[in-house]
Amino acid sequence: MDTLEQNYLFRPAKYKETYLVFLLTQFAGKKIIIFTSTCNQSLKLALMLRYLNFKAANIHGKLSQQQRLNSLNQFKSNERNILIATDVASRGLDIPSVDIVINFDIPGNSKDYVHRVGRTARAGKTGKAVTLVTQYDVEIF
């Protein structure tokens, strides 16, 4: 994975959403997948980002298959440039041309991390992965 640039941001947990918005502003115009650990966190971020006028779609395990497909199609067709997802989207989905993967929550194990960041830098293209690390994540990270 020579074409994948991996970074982390160590920030206090109470400013996590603020730094996410900062990152999204820095990466404006890019195709981004944001991974969360829970369905509720995914929904919360989607609502917050839409309120802030980001074009965000949401995909998680509590959605119906049709709702998941709708979100995925919005992302693929560039109607939405941000996809907020749980690990339901880290494997098995055909999502071409993702520029950046942001791990809002640290995955539970290293295999999930590899699958998440593997969504970018495919087929010889370059990509970035950024993981947000808080004081509660240091031991896991």
The dihedral built from the CA positions of residue 73, 88, 119 and 130, taken in this order, carries a sign that is positive
The CATH number linked to 64 is 3.40.50.300
Is pLDDT of 57 > 80?
yes
Q: Residue 141 domain-assigned? A: no
Q: Residue 71 domain-assigned? A: yes
Can you tell me the distance from the alpha carbon of 141 to that of 137, in angstroms, rounded to the nearest whole number?
Answer: 6
Contact between residue 35 and residue 86 where contact means Cβ atoms under 8 Å apart: yes
Q: Residue 38 domain-assigned? A: yes
Q: Residue 9 domain-assigned? A: yes
Average pLDDT over residues 59-75: 92
Q: Residue 138 domain-assigned? A: no
Can you tell me the distance from the alpha carbon of 38 to that of 30, in angstroms, rounded to the nearest whole number?
Answer: 24
Q: What is the pLDDT of residue 125?
A: 82
Q: Residue 29 domain-assigned? A: yes
The whole domain housing 107 covers: 4-133
Tens-place pLDDT, residues 1-39: 478 999 999 999 999 999 999 999 999 999 999 999 999
Q: Residue 123 domain-assigned? A: yes
Q: Residue 140 domain-assigned? A: no
- Count up the domains in the chain and report the number: 1
